[in-house]
Amino acid sequence: MSFRRSRSLFVALLLTPLLMPGATGAPSPALQGLLKQIFVDKAFDTTFPPEGEWLDEGAGYTVLEKSSDVPDAQDLIRYSTASGAREVLVAARSLIPDGQKKPLTIEGYQLSKDKQRLLVFTNTKPVWRQHTRGDYWVFDFRTKALTKLGGEGEASTMQFAKFSPDSSAVAYVRANNLYVQNLANFKVRQLTRDGSHTIINGTSDWVYEEELNLRDGFRWSPEGKRIAFWHFDSSGVGEYPLIDYTDSVYPTIRMIPYPKAGTTNSAASVEVVDVVSGKTKSMEVPGDPRNNYIARMEWAGNPREIVIEQLNRLQNTARLFIGEVSSGKTRQIFEDRDKAWVDVNEIRPLGESFVWLSERDGWRHAYLVHRDGAEPTLLTPGSFDVIRLDAVSEKQEAIYFSASPENATQSYLYRAKLDAGGRAPARLTPVSEPGSHFYNISPDGEWATHWYSRFNDPWRFELIQVQDGRPVHTLGDSEEIRKKVQPLLENRSEFFHVSIGNGVTLDGWMIRPKNFDPARKYPVLVHVYGEPAAQTVLDGWSGRTELFHRALAQDGYIIVSFDNRGTPAPKGREWRKVIYGSIGPLATEEQTKAIKTLCAERPYLDADRIAVWGWSGGGTDTLNLMFRSPNVYKAGMAVAPVPDQRLYDTIYQERYMGLPQDNAEGYKRGSAINFADGLKGHLLLVHGTGDDNVHFQGSQMLINKLVECGKQFSFMEYPNRTHAISEGPGTTIHLYTLLASFLEENVPAEAVTK
């Protein structure tokens, strides 16, 4: 159903020049053709190289490649890193189960440590956005036998299977219980028995999976005799219903435990089970398990101890504990605090210590945390942020990390030695390669797979020597796509800075039409995100989203984007955390100042034809901009927004806003729904009814509010689609056609005057 402004009223008032809405329906033929190329034909999609696994500390690696003799199948290939020599480890024909004609479809794989068996994940089905379940098979290199694991269990119900360190068994999760299967006789032992809708063993609940990136919830001990695992009790957690109206005569309902801000969390604990006796020991982590998070857990380099990272409910205090598995006793070795929030750290052992990222001196730096509780050792001195920790090499006594001290839109590889003595880290990415760089470094620190791109230059992939960045082999072939996309890249683009007052300068980018004429006035589309989870202003290739913007530029629009304060740019702690307790108002203020300043500085930007769009947090900020700066933005397209912050999950929302009970005014001031009465322009609201992340409920509540305020708007719901709004034939092209049509209709590329 669509709600649109009455055009007869506009006609009656045409006494002065006025922008007229264009035709409804499909966008212009040229734009429609480009959208088809991008989203249907996928003509400009990057061909990524197959994901691989390092072997022998980096001497070799494995990848999946198209089979030479079995149609629509893949062989597992081993490459020598230094020479490039190629060897077929497992041919597709070896993965054809008895009685079947086709080989298994490999959706994930793992080699045993002794390299005598291959574990294959196949026949998968989604659980929610990141979780999947499927079947696991083992191929034995010695006997050539292919065996399905899981005993008599139902198909497509297994998760996270992995070999024991001694290669003798496989552990996995099924129906929220943990199992281990012996590979000598294939007997299955069930290690936990209390798994249910609300009791979870060896995996995670929804909010841990989404916000703490925890999926695989168990860890084999180094010698393979025990398994440490997360245990969740989600009883008492509110459940959100996903209603399916379309797949049967009567609607069906699926309930997902989902803790909204300020409500009850799951109780999380760490358990250790003996795989032979089945005896379980609980680790004694202090504090209320429903009001603290077990963010990370790993074995501490030996079979006797576990290291546990705990966050308090407000996420402003992180503690590291060493747990003794025989007694369950724990002792704290480190604590990190922040007045706002502390970011989650991966546990990275380095000898008897651990590498930890902290903002304690105002920059995100790497520190060495010691078991004896001594003062942490700073590893990355300087006035810059570590963007991410890429690798820790005990052999080289060094850490590898990404940073960009001079340009917050880019990222490069650096190395810091443990014995640097205060010396600045060394940049390893060649200065001749500006842009965004990502590295998968081998365990020995000698080699890396290297992906890099720029805003105007699609991804390149290569194998390099880490120490000098020298390419050894090209991975994949991106040249064909690079040639195809060149016509769209003829649209002029630039990165710029815009000063918005009080000493604040924002990064931004701009894409201009192909035949740009500075004497003309162009309509502007702002792409916004604006929240702490992501940047939009990055000097890297962003795929179809960027191509969508390029297509709109071909249609006569100038596209811009800004990163306001509070986005995760590597500009220091104060930049990122200035928004604590007040997400929404600052982004609105700074985004509005940025576009107004830019329009004043560049007369070819038409300040009377400004539109804005965004997805998820960007959809939320689109609403904020339309409601709070209604005289600036003439149209907005909000996809899957969070209109009321009380409706989003505990971990994300409370990390940046605190508890609603403690910050009621901040939640009220930050929620766009409370400012809906300010709407003046044209609003398109889009949401998938099956969104298990940002719930459809929020858009329903906003619709009620807009109706109450007498505001007309357009609305599109996509039945059963998730937060990605990509499921089902035709969905993606339908959505982007809708966005393009709405833009053309309400902020036309050419102003029509009468």
What pLDDT does 477 receive? 76
What pLDDT does 218 receive? 98
Q: How many helices (H) and strands (E) does the chain have?
A: 12, 43
- Given a contact cutoff of 8 angstroms between Cβ atoms, the answer to whether 289 and 268 are in contact is yes
d(CA 605, CA 598): 8
Strands (E), 339-446: 348-350, 353-358, 365-370, 377-378, 386-393, 398-403, 412-417, 426-427, 436-441
- Checking if the pLDDT of 643 tops 60, the result is yes
- Checking if the pLDDT of 20 tops 60, the result is no
- Checking if the pLDDT of 547 tops 70, the result is yes
Averaged pLDDT for residues 705-721? 98
- Checking if the pLDDT of 195 tops 90, the result is yes
d(CA 417, CA 350): 12
Query: What share of the chain has pLDDT > 70, as a percent?
Result: 96
Higher-pLDDT residue of 3, 587: 587
Q: Note the pLDDT tens digit of each residue in 92-107.
A: 999 999 999 999 999 9
Share the mean pLDDT of the chain.
94
Buried b (16+ CB within 10 A) or exposed e, 257-269: bbbbbbebbbbbb
- Given a contact cutoff of 8 angstroms between Cβ atoms, the answer to whether 157 and 175 are in contact is yes
In the structure, what pLDDT confidence band is assigned to residue 443 with cuts at 50, 70 and 90? Answer: very high
**pTM for this prediction:** 0.94
Distances (CA, A) of 689 to 187, 614, 646, 650, 686: 43, 18, 19, 21, 10
- Checking if the pLDDT of 435 tops 80, the result is yes
What pLDDT does 3 receive? 26
Q: Which amino acid is at 323?
A: G
Averaged pLDDT for residues 199-205? 97
What pLDDT does 127 receive? 82
What pLDDT does 750 receive? 81
d(CA 418, CA 396): 9
In the structure, what pLDDT confidence band is assigned to residue 183 with cuts at 50, 70 and 90? Answer: very high
- Checking if the pLDDT of 665 tops 90, the result is yes
- Given a contact cutoff of 8 angstroms between Cβ atoms, the answer to whether 430 and 469 are in contact is yes
Domain residue ranges in the chain: 7-45+481-746, 350-476
What pLDDT does 656 receive? 98
β partners of residue 357:
366
- Checking if the pLDDT of 752 tops 50, the result is no
Averaged pLDDT for residues 332-350? 96
β partners of residue 471:
464
- Given a contact cutoff of 8 angstroms between Cβ atoms, the answer to whether 46 and 458 are in contact is yes
What is the Cα 240 distance to its own chain's centre?
22
Contacts of 250 (CB under 8 A, 6+ apart): none
In the structure, what pLDDT confidence band is assigned to residue 479 with cuts at 50, 70 and 90? Answer: confident
Distances (CA, A) of 322 to 312, 333, 393: 17, 7, 22
What pLDDT does 13 receive? 26
- Checking if the pLDDT of 23 tops 90, the result is no
Strands (E), 275-350: 280-282, 292-299, 305-312, 317-324, 330-337, 348-350
Q: Note the pLDDT tens digit of each residue in 588-616.
A: 999 999 999 999 999 999 999 999 999 99
d(CA 727, CA 688): 10
Q: Note the pLDDT tens digit of each residue in 361-376.
A: 999 999 999 999 999 9
Task: Tell me which H or E stretch contains 667.
Answer: helix 664-670
What pLDDT does 2 receive? 29
- Checking if the pLDDT of 637 tops 70, the result is yes
- Checking if the pLDDT of 698 tops 50, the result is yes
What pLDDT does 129 receive? 64
Phi first, then psi, for residue 573 (nearest 5°) are: -60, -45
Averaged pLDDT for residues 184-202? 97
In the structure, what pLDDT confidence band is assigned to residue 421 with cuts at 50, 70 and 90? Answer: confident
Q: Which amino acid is at 348?
A: R
Please give the CATH number for the structural domain made up of 350-476: 2.130.10.120
In the structure, what pLDDT confidence band is assigned to residue 130 with cuts at 50, 70 and 90? Answer: low
d(CA 477, CA 458): 12
End-to-end C-alpha distance for the chain, whole angstroms: 31
- Checking if the pLDDT of 639 tops 90, the result is yes
Residue with tokens 């459809």: 696
Averaged pLDDT for residues 618-623? 98
Averaged pLDDT for residues 438-449? 96
Residue with tokens 């709004």: 725
Please give the CATH number for the structural domain made up of 7-45+481-746: 3.40.50.1820
Q: Note the pLDDT tens digit of each residue in 724-746.
A: 999 999 999 999 999 999 999 99
**What does DSSP say about strands 522-527 and 558-563: parallel, antiparallel, or unpaired?**
parallel
Query: What share of the chain has pLDDT > 90, as a percent?
Result: 90
